[in-house]
Structure 1
Amino acid sequence: MTTTTIPHTLSDFSAARPSWLLNGRQRLLVSTLPAAVVTAGLFGIMTGLIQVKEVKLAPAETRILESIVYSHEEPSEVMSKHEFPAIPEAATPPPPPQVSAAPKGVSMPPIVLVGNAPQGLPIDHITPILTGPQPIGDRIATPVRPPMPTYPSSAATRGLEGDCDVRFDITPRGTPFNVKASCTHSIFESEARRAVERAEFLPQIVNGHAVESYGAVYPLAFRFDSRR
């Protein structure tokens, strides 16, 4: 039979505590010490990482600049604010080639009067007939607006000169037609024809009426100005 003794005082109670309670405290102390060591180590490592070391900068190089002196000179002459460059004088162009268009020996068909005057008619029996103004008489067509040819540029470039005989007929209104040109050089033929076609002539008058005339010849000479 087991007998249990009940303590009567506090000291007796402390002496009577079981041994497993003392072992629990030892286990807590043993487990706390390593945790404290690990925690202290972590704090030390973090403190080392956060610590900022002093950064030393390289000394700056000192450069000594030389003094800059600006010289100001007074202008000798006062220049205008808006000064335009001088315009070079244009070279005087040579005079254009001259074209002589003077009619020389214009040939027209001969005027033939039809019929003969009566012979043996007494003069006393002739009575003058009074009418309005009459033409002075039969005349050969003459130019009213003479041809004004232009020197062909292709001929002027090549330095060519030439002569032309322009043959044509004239209407009763003084307009040339059937114009044909015969020149010493074919380069002048087109301009010679054009000049005569634009000209104007007085029609030939026969018996008081303007009639067509045929076979007129108008000479043209293409020459350079000799004064160049």
Structure 2
Amino acid sequence: MGSFIRLVIGVPVAAIVTVFLFYVMQDLIKVDEVDQPDEVDDVTFSINDEVAEVEARVRDTTIDDVQQVDPPPPPPQIERQRAEQPSEGLATVMGAIPDFEAPQLNSDSVSFSVSDRDAQPLVRIEPQYPLRAAERGIEGSCWVRFDVTPDGTPTNIDIYRCDSSFFERASSRAVERWRYNPKVENGVPVARRGVETRFDFRLAE
């Protein structure tokens, strides 16, 4: 019963205090209105409207006013000494030059000998491994005999022994592309016969 009475009395009191505080706060934040002038005068600023004429001062300068400068003195002359020509002869200074007999050159006394040589290889191209032989794992060797013409070209190529027929064509085509320095006899290139070589066909491990 006592709590009900406190509730009935406290609610109106709280409401009155709240309304009072509301009006107090409203009065504190109220701002008075400021009257704004109806017309605003136009203000114009002018900075240096007119261009002032500046008179340039011209100074007259004559040739007489320029200070005279003396030119530098000329460089000193250096006397060049002349080499005196020797009065003694060359034979007196170095001794007499001995006389010698000039050799007589003619076609009979001069002879050139060209040494003979055998055919020498210039270009040697290895044969290509036949694809069919490589696929089957076939290895072997091939012996070739041929002649060399006076211009260094292999000819009359003969496969006289071969471990497999797969290597014959590859060996023959390789020798066809070889080039030689031809055989020389008495200074004249001649044919070289019976040159032999061997090709070994081995698969890489």
- TM-score, normalised to structure 1, is 0.40
Say which one has the larger Rg. Answer: 1
